[in-house]
């Protein structure tokens, strides 16, 4: 292995993602405008411009910016009065998803996932509905759209709220529509690790002006005007500096998506046929993905190494893949005693969490580096299968 690593090791570490930053010169110009205005936060001009620009880019009508995606999701539940009972969600997600349920006094009910998309399995969702169920909280994991039609049918049939965690799905389209336009509310995350970023940040996309107005009160302490506090709100505002950063980021997001698409295509071309490595699904008809992640499944028998051994071996070459999402949220101590968290109820999620590995992908990942990562994966397989 040492010999192999010496030959193929990358000259500098490659991480799972890296943000593409806007021009510092242009950001300085925006900062000068903020300095001149002395308006630093509370829905200033940059905040308003970013909300409008995001609506235009995403093809949605009502969007509220937030300081991060977690607070946005917390407020989404409050806005729809989901603050007791049970909500059906996926265990194959980032911990923020079940945590916002917990913080709202709701019991998460974990449901197994689809083996291809890794998203909530609609038939199993329906089987978990009880008189205590108030909502469904699916995640478009890795930007792969959920079965939005089936989930809409189920939520309508049972009178449930449908709130999407689209933290990974900026710019994704399904059935000719923005993925952010489905359900009662959709949350987006603009964290630094995301395709489109405001450093920290997020948004809620609402289906109506009235719901957006309620959300805008809730994210500003419930304050309607100087003398009126309409409800128990919180502070979820995005400031002017980050909004200005977001406007510059937005100008380059389509170039970033195209560049990630090229990285994804290169991985696919080079890794096709590598035994024991299952590549992410190709876009289904009507789906436009954003290629924000490149999750592979590692089958130990055929690849020759299991996921953990491959993850550790890649580090020797300075390739820092990530085990998203291991451990499953159902295994987090706060949730693992829940009946729905039992591993035998979540066989697909348990297997995927054991096998999944997200390879590095970002717009500025050079073609020769992608080629080298593919060479390393082939070499590791060949070495492992020689025994």
Per-residue DSSP letter, 192: T
DSSP codes joined into one string, 65-90: EES-HHHHHHHHHHHTT--SSEEEE-
Q: Which residue is nearest to ligand PLP (CB)?
A: 69
Distance CA 211, CA 380 (A): 53
Distance CA 268, CA 107 (A): 40
Distance CA 356, CA 352 (A): 6
In angstroms, give the least distance from the CB of 85 to ligand PLP: 21
Spatial contact of 203 and 63, defined as CB atoms under 8 Å apart: yes
In angstroms, give the least distance from the CB of 293 to ligand PLP: 10
In the bound state with ligand PLP, the residue whose beta carbon lies nearer, of 69 and 145, is 69
In the bound state with ligand PLP, the residue whose beta carbon lies nearer, of 144 and 189, is 189
In the bound state with ligand PLP, the residue whose beta carbon lies nearer, of 140 and 173, is 140
Q: Give the tokens for residue 348.
A: 């697909």
Maximum C-alpha span of the chain: 75
In angstroms, give the least distance from the CB of 352 to ligand PLP: 15
In the bound state with ligand PLP, the residue whose beta carbon lies nearer, of 196 and 303, is 196
In the bound state with ligand PLP, the residue whose beta carbon lies nearer, of 155 and 189, is 189
In angstroms, give the least distance from the CB of 70 to ligand PLP: 3
Q: CB within 8 A of 264, min separation 6: which ones? A: 280, 291, 294, 361
In angstroms, give the least distance from the CB of 98 to ligand PLP: 10
Q: Give the three-class secondary structure for 229.
A: strand
Spatial contact of 363 and 255, defined as CB atoms under 8 Å apart: yes
Distance CA 103, CA 57 (A): 32
In the bound state with ligand PLP, the residue whose beta carbon lies nearer, of 143 and 276, is 143
In angstroms, give the least distance from the CB of 121 to ligand PLP: 17
- Pick the closest to residue 180 from 164, 195, 196, 194 (CA basis): 164
In angstroms, give the least distance from the CB of 342 to ligand PLP: 23
Q: Give the three-class secondary structure for 235.
A: strand
In the bound state with ligand PLP, the residue whose beta carbon lies nearer, of 100 and 365, is 100
Residues that bind ligand PLP (CB under 6 A): 68-70, 93-94, 96-97, 139, 165, 167-168, 189, 191, 202
């Amino acid at each position: 292995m040492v010999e192999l690593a010496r030959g193929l090791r990358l000259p500098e570490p490659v991480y799972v993602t890296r943000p593409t930053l806007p021009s510092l010169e242009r950001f300085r110009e925006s900062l000068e405008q903020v300095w001149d205005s002395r308006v630093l936060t509370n829905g200033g001009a940059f905040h308003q411009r970013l909300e409008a620009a995001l609506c235009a880019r995403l093809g949605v009508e009502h969007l509220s910016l937030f300081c991060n995606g977690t607070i946005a999701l917390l407020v989404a539940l409050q806005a729809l009065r989901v603050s007791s009972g049970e909500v059906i969600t996926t265990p194959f997600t980032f911990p923020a998803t079940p945590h916002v349920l917990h913080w709202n006094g709701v019991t998460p009910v974990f449901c197994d996932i689809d083996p291809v998309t890794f998203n909530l399995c609609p038939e199993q969702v329906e089987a978990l509905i009880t008189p205590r169920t108030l909502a469904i909280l699916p995640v478009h994991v890795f930007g792969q759209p959920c079965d939005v039609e089936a989930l809409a049918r189920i939520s309508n049939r049972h009178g449930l709220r449908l709130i999407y965690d689209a933290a990974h799905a900026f710019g994704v389209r399904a059935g000719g529509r923005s993925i952010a336009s489905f359900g009662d509310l959709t949350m987006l995350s603009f964290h630094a690790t995301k395709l489109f970023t405001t450093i920290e940040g997020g948004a809620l996309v609402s289906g109506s002006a009235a719901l957006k107005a309620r959300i805008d009160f809730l994210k500003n302490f419930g304050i309607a005007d100087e003398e009126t506090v309409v409800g128990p709100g919180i502070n979820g505002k995005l400031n002017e500096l980050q909004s200005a950063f977001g406007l510059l980021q937005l100008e380059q997001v389509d170039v970033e998506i195209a560049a990630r698409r090229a990285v994804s295509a290169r991985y696919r071309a080079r890794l096709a046929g590598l035994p024991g490595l299952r590549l992410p699904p190709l876009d289904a008809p009507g789906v436009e993905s954003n290629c924000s992640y490149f999750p592979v499944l590692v089958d130990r028998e055929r690849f020759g190494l299991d996921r953990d051994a491959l993850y550790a071996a890649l580090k020797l070459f300075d390739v820092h893949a990530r085990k998203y999402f291991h451990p499953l949220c159902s295994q987090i101590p706060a949730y693992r005693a829940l009946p729905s968290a039992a591993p035998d109820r979540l066989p697909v999620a348990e297997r995927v969490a054991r096998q999944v590995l997200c390879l590095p992908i970002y717009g500025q990942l050079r073609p020769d580096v992608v080629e080298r990562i593919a060479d390393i994966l082939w070499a590791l397989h060949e070495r492992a299968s020689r025994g």
